[in-house]
Amino acid sequence: MNYPNGIKKQTNTSKLTTNINYKNRGMTLEAELNSSNEYYRKIDKAFIYKKPTPIKITKVDYPSRDKTIIKEAFFTIPSTTDYNGLYNGKYIDFEAKETASKTAFSLANIHPHQIKHIENIFNHGGIAFLIIRFTTLNETYLLPAKIFLDFLNKTKRKSIPIIFFREKAYKIKDGYRPRIDYLKIIDENIGGI
Amino acid sequence: MNYPNGIKKQTNTSKLTTNINYKNRGMTLEAELNSSNEYYRKIDKAFIYKKPTPIKITKVDYPSRDKTIIKEAFFTIPSTTDYNGLYNGKYIDFEAKETASKTAFSLANIHPHQIKHIENIFNHGGIAFLIIRFTTLNETYLLPAKIFLDFLNKTKRKSIPIIFFREKAYKIKDGYRPRIDYLKIIDENIGGI
């Protein structure tokens, strides 16, 4: 059964369900980040954008002089993270992912060259992090590059357990404007990120 | 008649032709910048990328479970500049354009929201600029945001004359590795850019 406003019938029966905030249901993490970034721009706070999805164009049509239609193209693997920009004179760079898992975030969701990119950014003085949302739990975390890279160096695990996020990452509260105020976490922890 | 290596028969008969450097003929400014950025990454100097071209996807096919083919899409107007990244802890942002004109760079080549973006980046402590190549003259310039924005504020002209570039912008010499060493200009003029 479909409920209005994108709210789905709750089938999760764990104890956590009673605490779930329904506010963001139906809006993807990407949509919320785009709206948050738009808000940051509007208030002249930060200029952070999602990069267009990289594609390889293989067929193009020119039906008229000033019109181009792409007739065949394929998604390609991105070489960097999805979001970057400028905040307060600082270079900001992050990747955002959702997972339905209640127990862990699978590292298969992040390409090896994206990890390398995050490492490069961190080493060269940029502010890099992941924003991971556990959709079923409705918990969203900002995981700073340093903590993420330390985890990768210290373990051979193929996923990051939810408990690691709860202990080491910064939980991002749901908001209204912006919906995901991740820069607040940067403001409060700038030295450590 | 087609010559090898992308070198085109010289039909320009002005005095300048004798000084033209043929080294880069056949390689676009974009290709040279991509190769320069790749070189900067290779030597661990800077992490600057061209953003993918923004498109709007209107039709998609799924011929098999893990294959997606875009069957119809359109190019859309970019909201930012084409290149951005991190150099030495600094946020770098620029747009690159070629013109065949020998007299001026038409401002019709830069979208109004790209100009606004350059202004935002400049105001918030990022390093923003244009890289403009006059292909017929084989002259390439780095025009810092401040000088560019000053020009726009002081004049109602619809183009920037070549003489303005020769007087106010930084000429980028052709190189081998990297082909366009624009970060050298940032290094030498970091205070003024």
A86 vs B74, B79, B124: nearest CB: B124
Contacts of B124 in chain A (CB under 8 A): 46-47, 86-89
User: For chain B, which residues score pLDDT lower than 70?
Assistant: 1-26, 190-193
Instruction: Write down the CATH number for the domain with range B4-16+23-189.
Output: 3.40.1350.10
Work out the burial of residue B173: count CB atoms within 10 Å of its CB; fewer than 13 is exposed, 13-18 middle, 19 or more buried: exposed
What are the CA-CA distances from residue A164 to residues A167, A169, A171, B117 (Å)? 5, 7, 12, 38
Mean pLDDT of the residues in chain A: 87
> Quick one: fold of A22-51+78-192?
Trna Endonuclease; Chain: A, domain 1 (3.40.1350)
Task: Give the best residue of B37, B62, B64, B86 to mutate against chain A (max A CB count within 10 A).
Answer: B86
**Per-residue confidence band for A66, with pLDDT thresholds at 50, 70 and 90:** confident
Q: Per residue in B116-151, pLDDT tens? A: 999 999 999 999 999 999 999 999 999 999 999 999
Amino acid B66: pLDDT: 83
Angle of the A112-123 helix axis to the A145-154 helix axis, nearest 10: 120
> Half-sphere exposure of A15 toward its Cβ, with a 13 Å CA cutoff?
0
Task: Give the best residue of A55, A124, A183 to mutate against chain B (max B CB count within 10 A).
Answer: A124
The pTM score is 0.84
Phi, psi of A42 (to 5 degrees): -60, -40
Contacts of A46 in chain B (CB under 8 A): 124
Q: Per residue in A140-168, pLDDT tens? A: 999 999 999 999 999 989 999 999 999 99
Pair of tokens at residue A29: 């993490």
**Per-residue confidence band for A191, with pLDDT thresholds at 50, 70 and 90:** low
Amino acid A193: pLDDT: 53
Amino acid A179: pLDDT: 95
Between CA B91 and CA B73 the distance in angstroms is 31
